[in-house]
Structure 1
Amino acid sequence: MAEICYRQGIRHVVISPGSRSAALTLAFVRHGGFQAHVCIDERSAGFIALGMAQQIDSPVVLICTSGSAVYNFAPAVSEAFFQQIPLLVLTADRPKEWQHQYDGQTIYQTGIFGQHVKRSFEVSPDYQHSDVQWAINRITNEAVNLASITPNGPVHVNVPIREPFYPISGEDFQPSEQVRVIKRQINQPVWPQGEWEELLDEWEDASKILIAGGQGKPDHALNAALTRITNEWDIPVLGDCIANLSGSEEFIRHQDLFLGAKEAENLRPDLLITFGMSFLSKEFKLFIRKNPPKWHWHIGEDAFLADPFQSVTREIPGKAQQFFSDLFEKLDYQSFVENSELAHDTSYHALWMQNERIARQKKLETLSNLSTFSDLTLLSSMFRYIISDFQLHIANSMSVRYANVLGTKNNWSGVYANRGTSGIDGCVSTAIGAAKVNGKPTLLVVGDVAFLYDRNGLLINSLPQNLKIVMINNAGGNIFRMIDGPGSLPELETYFETRHSFSAKRTCEDSGIAYFQVSDLAETDATVQAFLNADGIALLEGFTDPVENKRAWKALKHAMHN
């Protein structure tokens, strides 16, 4: 199994120690071709592997022992499934005859991840027969290939192992002479001319055209194609920070701030073209649901029909970059042949840009008028002093919403968040895994609850020294104070925010992380600069007041409607 993974191009394996998994662990460690990363907590290990695979766009192997250890991979596996990240999950198991025999660490592991993996496999615990060896060879190839077939995702191979599973002294680990690698060719879609003609007809019939990007990785070619479309054709292009749209000041980035206004109804498109995965902006989703377009094309390589706007009229399989490049060429050629300009309404783009510029200006005015220390003032200072080409990782809850508003002008090398399931579990570990392989300065913005929930990821032996962590400590789940519903309940602080008095200081001492703290606006800029200039891994903890955080956030939202 290890040799096939190596020949298929896999280079990273994340291991959680255990006894039943000894044969798997030693096979990969003694192979010599893998970088092995050890994490004692399987939940954190899963997210560290996810962060690695997210960066290198190639499967990372996860190994654990049998029993409840396997279940602890589940949060990361489900996030990888919905974020389309390739993982190869190898779980050691006890042979089936030992179930219900009071044998330790024996549970139902066959298909344990349910529908949250692309497929589950299981090999035989008895390897002597040549057919079984052939099956293991085939299954391993199929699992690796399947994890990398678009849409990418996790694949599970359950491996029952009989004793003895420790080698005797002097015993070598050698791949079988029958190892055979099975490569899978990429299937390139080709659209018939008739389908292109249908698309071009709908395009020509649409007066107001809007392009919107959901979560996606940085893609220079895609950004170049969209920049050309918006600059040459005056078609608005929008996306949240996690869409990683860059290259043009004409891109719409503040839609979540201005779309709640009543006058936004005139921004309704005739044709909406979307691509990517989840959209962070709730206001944009609600706006389109309330003002559905006549046509809605969604470009993607999903295995499911995703229609979060409740308006899709056409699924277009394929990569967004290729589609927009082909679309531009066909429309540009048609315009040349017919000696005519495209007929869409260019004032529609001007209307979007007017709202965008007003939102940008009001945001800056509001931030400059904030005179007390808060989540917003801390992060605003942080983003202002980021000079180098940082990669930004954002935890869920309020952190990602703050970053979506504040972090739009920075030249990030990429913006990442676990928006597959949008949970707070694993946000720290994901950033750790990413920083271990990306070779770039990496900044994680995380709330106190998400940090405390996932600090076991910091228990690995070799923390990435290119990682900086900003922890916003408002002593609880501050988002429940911001959203409608729980904010007015008398049980808010005890049962929703879960108020606490914990800090990251001792965690940093345990893990050898340089520690900074700030709780005063006057000290913010100097502390932020010292933190960013610190050598190696460092953490800045900002102690903020939840009441002041709510006041500052509401002031920013209300400014858009005045």
Structure 2
Amino acid sequence: MAAAACEKLGVCHAVVSPGSRSTPLTHAFARRDGIELTPVLDERSAAFYALGLARATGKPTVLVCTSGSAAAHYLPAVIEASESRVPLLMLTADRPDELRYCRAGQTIDQVKLFGTYVRWFAEVRDPDIRPESLRYWRNLLLNAVERCVYPVAGPVHLNVPFREPLEPVDLGDSADQFEAMLKHLEPIEPPEQRTPTPELNGSGMIIAGPAQPLDVERYVESLKLVAEKTNWPILADALSPARHYTETVPNVISCYDLILRQENTQPFTPEQVLQVGELPTSKVLRRWLQERQLPTVVLDPGDVNGDAAHTRSVACRCTLEAFAQNLHRNLRMDMAHTVRWLRADKQARTYLRDHLKGTPPAIFEGAVVRVMAAAVPDHTPVYVASSTPVRDFEWFWAGGDRKRRIYFNRGANGIDGTLSTALGIMQGLGKPGLLYTGDLALLHDTNGLLVAASRYFKSALTIVCINNSGGGIFEHLPISQQNEHFEALWATPQPVHLQRLAAAYDLAHELIEDVDTLRERLEHLPDRGVRLLEVQTDRKRDAGFRQKLFADFALPNEPNS
């Protein structure tokens, strides 16, 4: 019943982990031709793989697991789905009432297991084939799938107790009766939201934060319309489509982090700010906004406070598309302000290009990002891991019009589930893609290699792994210079040979020793399977190089305020 209703409501993917108590659910989804079923052994990996599928398709992905601790392994992915608004529907099998709270095996308290991280929870009553029960299940699943996508997309949890026997039974006429009850159902789609649009006049800036829209072309056309109506510069995070569609979107600024490190930033200070979605990764930008306390419109169709810089902000609860259509043209355009930003950005980009030319023979991590930006084919989906990779991506991925689709887990900003999410995205998209990650993020999700090596993964993924023997991001903290336990307790280098790890799963591996070889390997991506390109770097040297690179930059002929 659950599987039939989910299929009718537009669900096209389900990810199951093996177990006894979940047998009825697993069997039901296995019988639905319209739902692609993927078995994943480890529940944490399964949940992140499902998250990737939902991210790529925009539709709820179903997760099925057995009773006991199995569902608890979903929690990291549930948190990420909640924070980044990705639709997941968890169906967790459970023991019936009489087996709870009596030390029965594989039984824990699963009621509201995920707390406030789900959009909705329901403890499902025992299934049976009475007509009133069939109607109950129909409406229950309708409500659950709808809550996954509206009013704010996210995870939903249904806890489903089963009594033995668990094996499939013949439902007789009840199966046809239930199918007839589903005839009027249609796939759930989120409604378009509209709201009054504030006036944007005078000098300003648009901050385009991380975004993973399903319809990228519509998103960038809407951002273009806002930019044209305001003539404001767009400070575009590397995780925003704006930085990858610069022929469509005008006035894109990619080096704002470097520009705002200057001693005098008054010439770049606008009268007003439009923040589209979340703030970018840059701490420099966040500190600058916090200090300046500029009037800010935060454009976000969700229901939470999106102003992490605590500026003088007001929320505008609508989509970018609706906002762009309703926005009036700027009546007091300040061309000089936008030109000032564009000139400074060009100078900063030239500085980075010139100073990253001479990094061989040792490979600098930022140079790896520059090579990826230049070599990866147009339209390629790229997944960026959290920690140092996303920051190097922000600093060193220059703007362009190569139309790459950028994916990430920045809801909770964790490194968990990196590989599994990337695999799910590429499977959902059905095209070859790239994962840019560090060694710790990859090792944190090695169970994802079970998915990579399985026959159920039918897409392709090239992994570029920066192996700097530990957590490079911590090298930028004061503790790295002051604590004798830094290596063991913060950097945490792992004694793992990535070549041997890849061999254990029969995956292709290559150690990249220079940027020219990396460029050659990235210009043509395999269309099937998973390969690992390992780039070994020196995290301490690279941390020092970044710091000097940023400190030495100075804008020539800074404009007067």
TM-score scaled to structure 2, two decimals?
0.90
Residue equivalent to 1:34: 35
Q: Does 1:541 align with 2:528?
A: no
Once the two structures are superposed, what CA deviation does each residue of 1:398-430 show, in whole Å capped at 9, x if it has no partner? 011111222233514311111000000011111
Deviation at 1:213, TM superposition (A): 1.6
Does 129-138 or 70-79 show the bigger shift?
129-138
Deviation at 1:115, TM superposition (A): 0.6
**Aligned pairs for 1:34-53 within 5 A:** 34-53=35-54
Deviation at 1:187, TM superposition (A): 4.5
Does 89-98 or 498-507 show the bigger shift?
498-507
Q: Does 1:510 align with 2:526?
A: no
Contact 1:63–1:90, Cα closer than 8 Å, also in 2 = yes
Amino acid at match of 2:412: T
Deviation at 1:497, TM superposition (A): 0.4
CA distance in 1, matches of 2:175, 2:278: 40
**Aligned pairs for 1:34-433 within 5 A:** 34-127=35-128, 130-167=131-168, 175=175, 177-178=177-178, 179-180=181-182, 182=185, 187-191=191-195, 195=196, 199-200=198-199, 203-204=200-201, 207-218=202-213, 219-230=216-227, 233-245=230-242, 246=245, 247-248=248-249, 250-293=251-294, 295-327=295-327, 330-331=328-329, 342-371=331-360, 372-409=362-399, 411-433=402-424
Going from structure 1 to structure 2, the CA distance change for 1:405 and 1:376 (only over 3 Å counts) comes to: same
Q: Does 1:440 align with 2:431?
A: yes
Instruction: Please give the secondary structure, in 1, of the residue aligned with 2:357.
Output: helix
Once the two structures are superposed, what CA deviation does each residue of 1:177-196 show, in whole Å capped at 9, x if it has no partner? 133355567554454xxx55
CA distance in 1, matches of 2:375, 2:259: 26
Going from structure 1 to structure 2, the CA distance change for 1:487 and 1:276 (only over 3 Å counts) comes to: farther
Q: Does 1:498 align with 2:524?
A: no
Once the two structures are superposed, what CA deviation does each residue of 1:493-549 show, in whole Å capped at 9, x if it has no partner? 01000122312222322333211112x33xx31254146546432110111112222
Going from structure 1 to structure 2, the CA distance change for 1:2 and 1:312 (only over 3 Å counts) comes to: farther
Does 36-45 or 300-309 show the bigger shift?
300-309
Going from structure 1 to structure 2, the CA distance change for 1:551 and 1:190 (only over 3 Å counts) comes to: closer
Instruction: Please give the secondary structure, in 2, of the residue aligned with 1:515.
Output: strand
Does 275-284 or 469-478 show the bigger shift?
275-284
Residue equivalent to 1:482: 476
Contact 1:475–1:502, Cα closer than 8 Å, also in 2 = no
CA distance in 1, matches of 2:191, 2:494: 53
Amino acid at match of 1:378: V
Contact 2:375–2:522, Cα closer than 8 Å, also in 1 = no
Residue equivalent to 1:559: 552
Instruction: Please give the secondary structure, in 2, of the residue aligned with 1:313.
Output: strand
Contact 2:148–2:156, Cα closer than 8 Å, also in 1 = yes
Once the two structures are superposed, what CA deviation does each residue of 1:15-46 show, in whole Å capped at 9, x if it has no partner? 11111101100000012221111110110100
Does 256-265 or 68-77 show the bigger shift?
256-265
Contact 1:217–1:243, Cα closer than 8 Å, also in 2 = yes
Unaligned runs of 5+ in 2: 556-561
CA distance in 1, matches of 2:433, 2:495: 28
Amino acid at match of 2:532: L
Deviation at 1:175, TM superposition (A): 3.6
Going from structure 1 to structure 2, the CA distance change for 1:516 and 1:249 (only over 3 Å counts) comes to: farther
CA distance in 2, matches of 1:505, 1:469: 13
Contact 1:211–1:235, Cα closer than 8 Å, also in 2 = yes
Going from structure 1 to structure 2, the CA distance change for 1:391 and 1:188 (only over 3 Å counts) comes to: closer
CA distance in 2, matches of 1:426, 1:189: 32
Going from structure 1 to structure 2, the CA distance change for 1:296 and 1:378 (only over 3 Å counts) comes to: closer
Once the two structures are superposed, what CA deviation does each residue of 1:137-172 show, in whole Å capped at 9, x if it has no partner? 21111000111114211111110111111236x888
- Aligned-pair identity (%): 28
Contact 2:508–2:531, Cα closer than 8 Å, also in 1 = yes
Contact 1:278–1:420, Cα closer than 8 Å, also in 2 = no
Contact 1:531–1:539, Cα closer than 8 Å, also in 2 = no
CA distance in 2, matches of 1:485, 1:352: 35
Deviation at 1:292, TM superposition (A): 1.2
Contact 1:64–1:91, Cα closer than 8 Å, also in 2 = yes
Deviation at 1:299, TM superposition (A): 1.5
Contact 2:208–2:277, Cα closer than 8 Å, also in 1 = yes
CA distance in 2, matches of 1:12, 1:141: 17
Deviation at 1:261, TM superposition (A): 1.7
Contact 2:276–2:300, Cα closer than 8 Å, also in 1 = yes
Instruction: Please give the secondary structure, in 1, of the residue aligned with 2:410.
Output: coil
Contact 2:479–2:486, Cα closer than 8 Å, also in 1 = no
